[in-house]
Amino acid sequence: MHRTTSRRTTGRPTIGIIGGGVIGLAIAFELLERGEHDITVYDPDPTRGAGLVAAGMLAPAAEAVFGEEALQALMLESMRRWPAFAARLRERTGRPIGYRTEGTLLVALTADDQAEIDRLVGYYRRAGTPIEPLTGRQLREREPLLSPRVRGGAFAPGDHQADPRLLLGALRGLPLRFASQKIDDLSTVRDDVIIVANGVGSASLTGLPVRPVKGQMLRLRGAEPLVRHVIRGVAAGRHVYLVPRADGELVVGATEEERGTDTTVTAGGVLDLLRPAADLLPGVAELALAETLAGLRPGTPDNAPVLGPLPGGPPGARTLVATGHYRHGVLLAPVTAAVLADLVLDGSTTVDVDAFGVARFT
C-alpha cells in the first residue's frame, strides 16, 4: 500500500504517533501542552506493552550502570522534570498517577553485596547523584521490617516512583484520536509527521536494532504496606527490587532474560524474585501472590534510547523515532516527550541528545 493523500483536514500538520504506551502518550501529552495539535495514536492493542508490566521506579541512581554516563545524565535530566510532569498531568487530567517521593533504599545482605553497593555509591557520587550510605541499623530505623540480617546500604533520595498503570490511565484520558490499525509499514501512515514510539515493535518498522529483553515480575498484596520506600536489594548476589503502593500492593521485579518474544512466567523466574525478596524483607512470604506477569523491554546494543529524526521515512512526511528505552521508559518519559516535542515543533532541542541519535546504529 502507498501513501497517497495527506490526512490533513484542518490546515495544521497532522501528527501520527505509532505506539500508545508510556512513551508515545507522553509525547502526545507534551505536544498538547504546547498547543492545539491534530494527533492520532496508532496502537492495535493498548493492553500490551512494557508500561503495563513496569514497576514505575524512577531510578537515576539505583538503575545506573558503570560506563553509561551519557545515559545517566539523561536519566537525571528526566528525573528533574518528573515533579513538574506529574503536576501538569494531574492538572490536565485530574487523575492521580501515584507519584511518590519517599526515595529508594539500596540494601545489601552479605559482605559481597555490601561491597557491590559501596562501589555503586562511589560511582553515584562521582556522577553528582545524591546518595547517603547507611548502616544496617539505620536502614531498619527507616524500614523496621527489613531483615535483621541486612548488613547495610544507602539512601537515594532522588529516586522516586510512579504507578505506570495509573500513568497510562491518565494519559489515555487525553483528547487524542486513537486508531486500532496495526502499522506494518510506515508508508501506510498518512500523517505529515510520524513518530515511531512502539518499543519492541519499532524494530521491524525502522530497522533499528531494538530487541526484546524479557522481565518477569510479581504483584503481592497485603492489608498494609510493608515498606514505604522503594527497596533495591542484592541478596547473595541476587538482585531484586520492591516497589510499595499505598494500597498494600508490593511489586517485585524483575528478571532479565534474552528469550525473544516469549512472555511465559516460569517457576524459576518466580523463585529468582521471591528468594532475594524474602531474604531482605521476610514479611513478603505472608503476602498474597496476586499476579505474575512478564513484559518485553525494548533494549538496544548500548542500553540507551534512540531519539530523533529517522532518515528514510515515507516521502512527504517528517519521521522521528523515540524507542529503545530498555529499563528506563517510565523515568525517561518526560525528557523524551520534551525532546520529541522540541524536534517536531522547533526542529531542534536544547537537551543534549548527541549520544542518542539514529546514526550510531546506521
Chain contacts with ligand GLY (rule: CB under 6 A): 55, 57, 63, 215, 253-254, 297, 327
Q: Least Å distance between CB 154 and ligand GLY? A: 18
- The DSSP line for 73-100 is HHHHHHHHHHHHHHHHHHHHH------B
CB 243 within 8 A of CB 56: yes
Q: Least Å distance between CB 64 and ligand GLY? A: 11
C-alpha cell, 39: 494527533
Q: Least Å distance between CB 11 and ligand GLY? A: 42
Residue nearest to ligand GLY (CB): 327
Q: Least Å distance between CB 255 and ligand GLY? A: 8
235, β-bridge pairs = 238
Q: Residue 312 — left, alpha, or beta (φ > 0 → left; ψ -120 to 50 → alpha)?
A: left
Q: Least Å distance between CB 215 and ligand GLY? A: 5
Beta strands 249-253; 211-221: pairing state: antiparallel
Q: Of the two residues 230 and 339, which places its CB atom closer to ligand GLY in the complex? A: 230
Q: Of the two residues 153 and 215, which places its CB atom closer to ligand GLY in the complex? A: 215
Q: Of the two residues 158 and 253, which places its CB atom closer to ligand GLY in the complex? A: 253
The count of residues in the chain is 362
Q: Least Å distance between CB 362 and ligand GLY? A: 26
Q: Least Å distance between CB 327 and ligand GLY? A: 3
- Write the single-letter amino acid at 342: D
Cα 321 vs. chain centroid, distance in angstroms? 16
Q: How far apart are CA 131 and CA 134, in angstroms?
A: 10
Q: How far apart are CA 311 and CA 70, in angstroms?
A: 23
Q: How far apart are CA 53 and CA 118, in angstroms?
A: 30
Q: How far apart are CA 329 and CA 298, in angstroms?
A: 9
Q: Of the two residues 293 and 345, which places its CB atom closer to ligand GLY in the complex? A: 293
Spatial CA neighbour of 48 closest among 16, 89, 19: 19
Q: Of the two residues 320 and 332, which places its CB atom closer to ligand GLY in the complex? A: 332
100, β-bridge pairs = 161
Q: Of the two residues 63 and 257, which places its CB atom closer to ligand GLY in the complex? A: 63
Q: Of the two residues 229 and 327, which places its CB atom closer to ligand GLY in the complex? A: 327
